[in-house]
Amino acid sequence: MKILAVGDIVGLSGVKKLKSVLPTLRKEEQIDFIIVNGENSAEGMGITEKIFNDILEEHVDVVTMGNHTWGKKDIFKFIDHPRLIRPLNYPKGVVGKGYNIYNCKDKKIAVINLIGRVDVNVLSDNPFTQVKELVEKIKDKTDMIIVDFHAEATAEKIAMGYFLDGSVTAIFGTHTHVQTADETILEKGTAYITDIGMTGPKQSVIGMDASASIKRFVTTLPERYKIASGECVLNGVIFDVDDNTNKVKSIKRVRK
């Protein structure tokens, strides 16, 4: 089985890039299951029902979120959709689900969304203890467990990789919008990559207009961010999973 994880979609141009690339990529790579991070898809902050449905039209199995989960109030209309998950470690009682279990080719695949706490301006619970508790709860009910860890700090992501090595099938990082070159299969069999990158404007500062970003750094004034224009790129990763062992045989970065 092949599982594709697509990096943070940035704005409508990122959505269009996904829709233009995914059909061919899915066919060429014989992709069976697709995870897309959509927390920046609506003007760079949040997601709307229309965009969510546009993403699902491309045979996407699950959309994960992050620190901009509540960026658009529209989300409260469809937050309980089974193909949408938000960070597991939001406080108890918050609407939505932090994980779900999906059926694909006679396999049960659990997808978990987490958010980091280092340099992320979100009041969340401990992702390490929360995910460990959940994995113990569902490990006998699933064939595979995939984790999207939406976090800023490289160290926090790497630590999570070692923390869950052998307990989950794969962990991929999102949020920083820059694809890292450290894809690996850890000692106990868990596939890992620190960040899978973004799907959005290529000539940009993590998806945003470069001139506005530079002005903020040069002047320290609160210049309003805006999404960059121009050619887009799709970043992601493909996990090739052995159908007999449910372990990842190989992990390959994607840049289209």
pLDDT digits (tens, 9 = 90+) for 210-233: 988 999 899 988 888 889 999 999
Structure tokens at 75: 């989300």
Q: Nearest to residue 239, comparing CAs of 168, 159, 160? A: 168
Q: Given this model, what pLDDT does residue 247 score?
A: 97
- In angstroms, the CA 220 to CA 223 distance is 8
Give whole-number Cα distances, 208 to 10, 30, 106, 201, 202, in Å.
Answer: 9, 32, 41, 8, 10
Catalytic residue (one of 59, 68, 81, 150): 68
pTM over the 0.85 mark: yes
- In angstroms, the CA 54 to CA 73 distance is 18
Q: Given this model, what pLDDT does residue 222 score?
A: 83
Q: Given this model, what pLDDT does residue 225 score?
A: 82
Q: What is the pLDDT of residues 78-108, one digit of tens each?
A: 999 999 999 999 999 999 999 999 999 999 9
Assign domain 2-202+232-255 to its CATH superfamily.
Metallo-dependent phosphatases (3.60.21.10)
Q: Given this model, what pLDDT does residue 37 score?
A: 98
Q: Given this model, what pLDDT does residue 146 score?
A: 98
Q: Given this model, what pLDDT does residue 27 score?
A: 97
Q: Which residues of the chain have pLDDT under 50?
A: none
Catalytic (active site) residue 68 = yes
Q: What are the domain boundaries of the chain?
A: 2-202+232-255
Q: Given this model, what pLDDT does residue 221 score?
A: 87
Q: Given this model, what pLDDT does residue 224 score?
A: 82
